[in-house]
Structure 1
Amino acid sequence: MILDGKAFVITGGLGSIGSATAAIIVEKGGYAIIFDILPEDVAQEKIKTFKNPEKYVYSKTDITSQEVLEQSLKDALSKLPKGSLFGAVHCAAVNPNRPWTSKMSDKLKDFETVLRVNAYGTFMVDALVADAINSQYPPLDIFHERVTEERGVIVNLSSVVGHTPPARCLTYGPSKTCVLGITEAAADFLAPSGIRVNSIAPALVISPLMQSGDRLKYFQDAVEGYSMFPRRFTTPEEIAGAIIFLLENSMMNAFHLKVDAGWRQITSWANGIDPRKSVVVE
């Protein structure tokens, strides 16, 4: 599949992974429809610093609101060549980043929040983008017809902690497990429409939050102790490159790609030290 001339919605598109992915899509001749939560003026100033800023369309949106997301899609597509929408890279998510306590019930409100954004939001983005893609073609009765041409591709951002959720990701991990299930169900549902759906699972990605204070040492120790090779954080560009592979390779469907250097997510009690005392873990 060739990216040239094709438009992709990128949620969280001004974050590290989203912006790195958008840059490659634009470099390959595509259009980046950026959905994020930054105010319009702030976002536009940031986009002006990118290469080929004219290939970007921005909309401040809410991925948990059907009404808002549908309007954002409508507005964005009105600014691009007709019929150019080809898919999405769904990066937007939330992580509570709260201290680890000994009471599991302390996480109930956080769990409600991450499910709303990370799970329901993923379903929402996949559904509305797929419907928008299909609206570019004559109506299709998917129960009786199956197209032969490729019409689109969606990549959902999961996480290695969605595959095997550890205690330090008590709410975030299971919310990303939901992403895996949504990806496989959506891939099967959208197959008659010629739309592929895959997920990508990063491990520890370089970011300002990850590199701050005690958090850096905690996770650096985890990388050193439980990664295979290389024993370092992943760069946003490495994740973006893997996403582009999933977009371009037409045989990739209902697939979960880990980009994690073989990192194993466990709660370490080495030397009898309680890990809950040392770091904000989620």
Structure 2
Amino acid sequence: MDISGASAIVTGGASGIGAAAARQLAAKGAHVVVADLQAEKGEALAKEIGGVFVSVDVTDTEQIKAAVDKSLELGPLRALVNSAGIGSAQRTIGRDGEYDSAFNLDNYKKVIAINLIGTFDCIRLAATAMSRGEETATGEKGAIVSMASVAAFDGQIGQVAYSSSKGGVVGMTLPVARDLAAAKIRVNTVAPGLIDTPIYGEGEDSEKFKAHLGQSVLFPNRLGSPDELASMVIELITNSYMNAEVVRVDGGIRMPPK
């Protein structure tokens, strides 16, 4: 699918994997809406790639609609990349056996609200706009790529909220693809492994920690780069025969319990 001259939305697009995807979409000729809460980074990236920044909290339906409407001002909406998400670490029960020490339910709900419900809300609204568009030369109206995680399959101790949310993204991929097939919209998911993003911090200690983590990757023994993830996102958007798939991009890692 040719996305040159079309518009694309990238949630969580101001940094990390989202920013790499936004840059590669722009390099393909797309007009990119960088949808994020990080205004300074988002505006700087949008200026760099000739796109537009829109402040979006993916738990706010009206803000998502505003991003979709802005994308339609730039060109036909052909691509959505769901990269917004948060993590959380806590064990299901505490060591003292007290109810109040169990996993904080509000935190669990927040992770689900952002990573899972937010992803679906973006999909249903962007797909609605895509469905009203004209078909491309390849007979499509759009393509959607969501970001899951290897934690959807190999969730570690303390990752119950994150793994639940990403497992939900994996689980929705096929049924949403089936729902949207009639509208000629493809849906795929990427499940990243250990990726070198700002979450690991900066400096000598950070580099040592990342090098240690990289040793658990089958091959190559390092963290992946955001560009390596983004290249798969672009493939899933532009390859017209990729649909309803969940693709691990993880160097062959299988996460241990902890």
Tell me what 2:18 maps to.
18
Distance in 2 of aligned mates of 1:6 and 1:77:
9
For residue 238 of structure 1, report the CA deviation from its aligned partner.
0.4
Distance in 2 of aligned mates of 1:93 and 1:18:
10
Q: Are the equivalent residues in 1 in contact too, given 2:15–2:41 (CA < 8 A)?
A: no
Tell me what 1:255 maps to.
245
Matches within 5 A, 1:68-83: 68-78=63-73, 80-81=74-75
For residue 215 of structure 1, report the CA deviation from its aligned partner.
7.2
Gap change, CA 1:173 and 1:212, over 3 Å in 2: farther
For residue 102 of structure 1, report the CA deviation from its aligned partner.
5.6
Q: Does 1:65 align with 2:60?
A: yes
Q: What's the CA shift string for 1:118-145, capped at 9, x where partnerless?
A: 110011011000001112359xxxxxxx
**Alignment partner of 2:214 out of 194, 216, 223:** 223
Provide the TM-score with structure 1 as the length reference.
0.80
**Alignment partner of 1:123 out of 108, 120, 125:** 120
Distance in 2 of aligned mates of 1:233 and 1:25:
23
Q: Per the alignment, in what secondary structure is the counterpart of residue 241 of structure 1?
A: helix
**Alignment partner of 1:86 out of 78, 83, 87:** 78
Gap change, CA 1:75 and 1:32, over 3 Å in 2: closer
Distance in 1 of aligned mates of 2:8 and 2:146:
13
Q: Which amino acid aligns with 2:21?
A: T
Q: What's the CA shift string for 1:153-196, capped at 9, x where partnerless?
A: 00000001112222142211111000011221110100111100
Tell me what 2:185 maps to.
195
Q: Does 1:243 align with 2:233?
A: yes
Q: Which amino acid aligns with 1:108?
A: L
Q: Are the equivalent residues in 2 in contact too, given 1:122–1:182 (CA < 8 A)?
A: no
Q: Are the equivalent residues in 1 in contact too, given 2:34–2:52 (CA < 8 A)?
A: yes
Q: Are the equivalent residues in 2 in contact too, given 1:58–1:76 (CA < 8 A)?
A: no
Distance in 2 of aligned mates of 1:155 and 1:36:
17
Distance in 2 of aligned mates of 1:243 and 1:120:
21
Q: 5+ residue gaps in structure 1?
A: 139-147, 269-282
Q: Does 1:170 align with 2:170?
A: no
**Larger Rg computed on CA atoms:** 1
Q: What's the CA shift string for 1:57-113, capped at 9, x where partnerless?
A: 2210121122221123223422x13xx1112011001112x5668627234222111
Gap change, CA 1:151 and 1:18, over 3 Å in 2: same
Q: Are the equivalent residues in 2 in contact too, given 1:86–1:151 (CA < 8 A)?
A: yes
Q: Which amino acid aligns with 1:179?
A: V
Distance in 2 of aligned mates of 1:61 and 1:161:
25
Q: Does 1:204 align with 2:201?
A: no
Q: Which amino acid aligns with 2:59?
A: T
Tell me what 1:106 maps to.
103
| Count of residues paired in the alignment | 249
Task: Tell me whether 62-71 or 27-36 shows the greater mean CA deviation.
Answer: 62-71
Distance in 1 of aligned mates of 2:92 and 2:146:
30
Q: Which amino acid aligns with 1:109?
A: D
Q: 5+ residue gaps in structure 2?
A: 95-100
